[in-house]
Amino acid sequence: MLLEQVKRILLQHTENVEITEDSQLVADLGLSSFDLVSVVTEFEDEFKIEISDRDIRKFICVGDILEYLEKV
């Protein structure tokens, strides 16, 4: 379910691509730095959390986001 929520948000900012836990945000999904900021803002709203800039830099692939969200 968490993966589906994350996919739904990411698909709003990408072309219709397959998203897996191994998908890299920039290389595979083509997200720009502006897209990443928008995506993180949506994660914060969706999950009622605040994500620090330091933590955002750790988000390389979808699995990194899932791992972070599972801990909060």
pLDDT in the model for residue 22: 98
Does this model's pTM top 0.85? My answer is yes
Tokens standing for residue 64: 């990194």
Domains of the chain: 2-11+26-71 (1.10.1200.10)
**Which tens digit of pLDDT belongs to each residue from 40-72?**
999 999 999 999 999 999 999 999 999 999 999
Please check whether residue 7 is in contact with residue 41, taking contact to mean a CB–CB distance below 8 angstroms. Answer: no
How many angstroms separate the Cα of 38 from the Cα of each of 16, 19, 43, 69? Answer: 18, 18, 9, 16
